[in-house]
A and B are shown apart, each in its own frame.
Chain A
Amino acid sequence: MNNPINVTIPARVLCNEIGYDFLSALAGETISASGSEINFNFGNCTWFEGNLCAVLGNILDGLVQRNNKIRFNNINNDILNTFSRNKFLSAFIPNDSLELDSLTIPYQKFKLVDEQKAKDFIKAELFDKPDMPHMSDEAQKLILINIFEVCVNAITHGQCEFVYCCGQFFPMKNPPEVSISFVDLGRTIKANVNEYLKVQMTGNKTILWALDEGNTTKTGNEPGGLGLKLLQSLINYNKGSLQIVSADGFVELKNNVFREHSIKDYFPGTIVTIKLLLGDSNFYCITNEVNTDNIF
């Protein structure tokens, strides 16, 4: 066993510059660790956003695969309960006994081999919760399409095997909200875009480029998907928010405006966090009538 590695979890791990900086540093600093004992000290930590378990889980999964031994120390009961109820803990600690909370989309890693199962799972976890406002079938469908566009995007462009996902509901907010994070530790948007364009843009500029209509790093005889573009339009219609963290980039879309944040560290993959408002059942109306005749 190599020397132990000690990681101090900050006081509040949120979907902001500080939270993403910490997770980026953690991913970067532990990416080559193997055969070590890694102690996560939660002594200072009073809040850890549930959806960010997707990021922590992706990092821990890699550590476990590389024969590291993981310990959580000084974790308070609130965080322990959160980690337990969203099934994050049971992914790493067998026999965790707390019941699943209806306010979470449980921690999950997808391979997208069984697409039907993946869709049924997310649909049930997202829309079939007690006390959640009803959303129209079309609105539900649009949200699901966008979620899976992100997953397919991660697997295709990140060249990774799994996408990690976790979500948290906030039913007491008005309107109720859900935050979901998707993570892959794979090729970054920065690496893909800069290689494709043969330039050296910053992480933020490459994310903005990837979000622009018509832009794709795909080459050959198949055009790229429209995943991130569709997602933007969903977010704008829904009045939610979208955050993308990749390499040294962190871009947020809210109220139709892109905001570039700066993170000090480098995330060796991509995090997509979407926040959706659940109160409006018909936020998305299809206004364009399209005819199938001569559609091509």
Chain B
Amino acid sequence: MNITIKDFLEGNTALAPSKGYPIHDVIKSSLDNREEVFLDFNGMELMTTAFLNAVIGKLYSEFTSDVLNTYLKIKNISSSDLVLLKKVIDTAKLYFTDPEAFDDHMKKTFNDE
């Protein structure tokens, strides 16, 4: 299945998380059925990490890295957006792999001061 992000928006800009949830839901639905998804960033000019979190970060609460690597493919993403996406993925992995450890890490940061 091909999902073009721009088709869900009124332009080439995606800022708020709310714009990402419908895209996330379509991806999730395909991945639930183990269908291959091509997520197409063609035509996108500006995206925030808040938006990318809503589209992709949230998937880590529902699927493993193995499932995502097998069934979700990224297309036509610019190099700068790819760097941004990688940051979002790394944070989501840390957040969902072990939420308690993530929480501990944050609290420790404070307590160590």
Contact residues in B for A286 (Cβ distance below 8 Å): 79-80, 83
Compute how far the CA of A200 lies from the CA of B12 in the bound complex, rounded to whole angstroms: 42
A112 CB contacts on chain B under 8 angstroms? 15-16
Q: Contact check: which of A148, A199, A225, A288 meets B46 at CB < 8 Å?
A: A148
Select from chain A the residue with minimum beta-carbon distance to B60: A223
Could you give, for residues 222-235 of chain A, a 1 whenever the CB lies within 8 Å of some chain B CB and a 0 otherwise? 11111100100000
Contact between B84 and A145 (Cβ–Cβ < 8 Å)? yes
Residue of A151, A205, A216, A230 touching B15 (CB-CB under 8 A): A151
Q: Are B80 and A142 in contact (CB under 8 A)?
A: yes
Partner of A222, one of B16, B54, B65, B89: B54
Whether B13 and A115, one on each chain, are in contact in the complex, defined by CB atoms closer than 8 angstroms, is yes
Q: Does A290 contact B (CB under 8 A)?
A: yes
- A-B contacts counted at CB < 8 A amount to 131
* Interface 0/1 of B93-112, CB less than 8 Å to A: 01110000010011101100
When the two chains form their complex, are residues A221 and B106 in contact, meaning their CB atoms are under 8 A apart?
no
B5 within 8 A of A: no
Cross-chain contact of B48 among A148, A221, A289 (Cβ < 8 A): A148
- What separation, in Å, do the CA atoms of A295 and B41 have in the docked complex? 15
- How close is A279's CB to chain B, nearest CB, in angstroms? 21
Tell me whether B48 and A149 are in contact (CB under 8 A): yes
Contact, CB under 8 Å: B65 / A227 = no
- Counting CB contacts under 8 A, is B17 at the interface? yes
CB < 8 Å: which of B62, B72, B85, B105 contacts A214?
B105
Q: Flag if A226 contacts B89 (CB, 8 Å).
A: no
The number of residues on chain B lying at the interface, defined by a beta carbon within 8 Å of a beta carbon of chain A, is 53
CB closest chain-A residue, reference B99? A219
Residues of B within 8 A of A230 (CB): 49, 84, 87
Contacts of B94 in A (CB 8 A): 214
Residues on B with beta carbons closer than 8 Å to the beta carbon of A227:
48-50
Contacts from A to B (Cβ < 8 Å): 112, 114-116, 118-119, 138, 141-142, 144-145, 148-149, 151-153, 155-156, 197, 199, 201, 205, 209, 212, 214-216, 221-227, 230, 286, 288-290, 292, 294-296
20 contacts between A and B (CB under 8 A): A115-B16, A119-B13, A141-B45, A141-B80, A145-B84, A152-B16, A152-B17, A152-B50, A197-B106, A205-B110, A209-B109, A214-B105, A221-B58, A222-B61, A225-B49, A226-B87, A286-B79, A290-B79, A292-B73, A295-B86
